[in-house]
Amino acid sequence: MVDLIPREHLFGNPTRYGHQISPDGRRLGWVAPYEGVLNIWSAPIDDLDAAAPVTTDRRRGIDAYAFAYDGRHLLYVQDADGDENHHLYAVDLTTGERRDLTPIPGIAAAIVGLSRIVRDRVLVAINDRDPRFHDIHSVDLATGARSLVVENPGFAGFLIDERYAVRFAFRNLPDGSSQLIARDGANWKPWLTFPPEDARVSGAENLDAAATALFCRDSRGRNTAALTRIDLASGETRVLAAHEEADIGAVLQDVETHEPVAYSVTHARKSWHVLDPRFADDFAFLETQGLGDWYPASRTEDDALWIVVARADTRVGEAAIYDRRAKSLRSLGSARPELEGAPLAPMCPSIIRSRDGLDLVSYLTRPLDAQGPGPLVLLVHGGPWARDSFGFDGIHQWLANRGYAALSVNFRSSTGFGKAFLNAGDREWGRRMDDDLSDAVAWAVAQGVADPARVAIMGGSYGGYATLMALTRNPEAYACGIDLVGPANLETLVRTIPPYWEAMRAQLHRAIGDPDTEEGMALIRERSPVYFADRIKAPLLIVQGANDPRVKKDESDQMVAAMERGGIPVTYLLFPDEGHGLVRPANRLAFFARAETFLARHLGGRCEPIREAESSGTSMQVVREG
């Protein structure tokens, strides 16, 4: 029998990850613990032993940051206990001085752009004037002085050139289409429209450095999104790249011209394709280094050095500095070196055919000692406009190590597989999207992987909703379920979205129904698990962050109350200092310890004893014990 991998090695703080290189190539940054809390660290590239923390947060942690082009400042965003009202901060790497560049209560700020030309300022989106819409401001990095660039009259966002001039805006229309609007002096005029069936797959991406060409992902007239180039003067459109099975994924741009030089496509696995011959040797070299589904995470301004990250099923976030001139890799280590030599299980991509003929790209991880059918945990991703992909997955490894097969399924509505697949999920929440999950379980049973009497379903956000809906719609199919921040009532979900999601309301209505229409309200009630809680037979664990702005605490409260009225057992865990997911390591470990005990009780897998570190320091409240 394989050794148990400690939960802390899988879900505790990583040693270091999120490496970035400064534009001038002189410094590295990364995220690592400081007094047990994740913070940003930095060091000269030629003296990593001189690393020091740039931030010293002692509560929630910080992991989103960027180097400014001025060679002096590092920028990062942080919210309070998961409320997603992020502020933007600047740290002077020379003096250590920290400044809140958005010191306004109750706002949500985000970096819009950093420029090689306007090096002393950063573009910031701030919703202080109207909480629904973010205006664009230019902020001086040294002084914090702020000036308005453009007021937002109701747009979803803006497209801005390197000189911080606003060129286009994005607008979502009531019918679900999206529109690119050109700025003409003080006026705006419609310039390009993506119909409703294309809007979630297509869109403008970036301008070239001269602001004479626009690059788009465009699925009009085809199923998958192609990479296109539009000449702004003539309107001539040219397809640069396309793939029959998947949308164009990441695009690598020339650091000076912003023209695409390479792109990735991810169907079951990721592949890179070179557009510019100058980069052919780079990709050829990196493909021979055993990096799995690797990606470039950061590049210097002269493009001489890259940070590349290996993404393989049994290699854990290994980063390296790639020197393009020397064609060499300098390892920066693994995010979790304690897993080196651990009994990690391989992940196998599989294509599962749905009952109505769709290909569901899925990923299966089985216990290393699996023989014949055994317990299975079906993992449902959030979004639903997201996707699962190949690579190291801590939850897959945890489950496989405890004796369960783990299966992740890209059900209809998942992104990356073309507009037909994505749009096939509209009005199908809790119906054909749930059918896809059932079909995946049936496949696992037919393949001799799963014991049909020992199948669990687990997910967060939309995956939490899918868990609740599956237990109400197929009460005999699952032995238990775990719902993390999943909506239970689609009406209250839509009516309480964060104000700055207003621009995407039409797309939500297109997907799940408009609660302000009789037809839409009927659909919403039919697809809301809170109204069918009395059908649940399997044990259920519900987990909620009290400060979640997307799926409010009331969603879980409603579901628990409905189950209590029916006398149905449910366990409810509440985390007062979390939002849409669990960030603090003490809370993550406490949750996974409880989840592991829950699964072992109902599926019969192995269970590691709860360690002292997993029972102390957490804010977890057991609101109800089922």
Going by their DSSP bridges, the two strands 52-53 and 65-67 should be labelled as unpaired
Closest Cα to residue 17, out of 387, 310, 231?
A: 310
> Is 548 one of the catalytic residues?
yes
Instruction: Categorise residue 44: left if φ over 0, alpha if ψ from -120 to 50, beta otherwise.
Output: beta
For residue 537, count CB atoms less than 10 angstroms from its CB and return exposed for 0-12, middle for 13-18, buried for 19 or more.
Answer: middle
Residue 390's Cβ-side half-sphere holds a number of Cα atoms within 13 Å equal to: 23
Distance between CA atoms of residues 56 and 37, nearest Å:
8
- Sequence-distant (≥ 6) Cβ neighbours of residue 293 within 8 angstroms: 266, 269, 270, 311, 312, 389, 390, 391
Residue 396's Cα: distance from chain center in Å? 17
CA 603 → CA 294, 349, 438, distances in Å?
A: 35, 24, 18
Annotated catalytic residue within 439, 548, 556, 577: 548
Could you say which of 178, 350, 389, 461 is catalytic? 461
- Token pair 């409010």 in the structure block, residue: 552
For residues 197 and 181, give the distance between their C-alpha atoms in angstroms, rounded to a whole number: 19
CA separation for the pair 452, 114 (Å, rounded): 53
Residue of 19, 86, 580, 602 with catalytic role: 580
Contact 393, 347 (CB under 8 A): yes
Our answer to whether residue 556 is catalytic in this structure is no
Rounded Cα gap, residues 292 and 593, in angstroms: 30
Is 362 annotated in the active site? no
Catalytic residues: 461, 548, 580
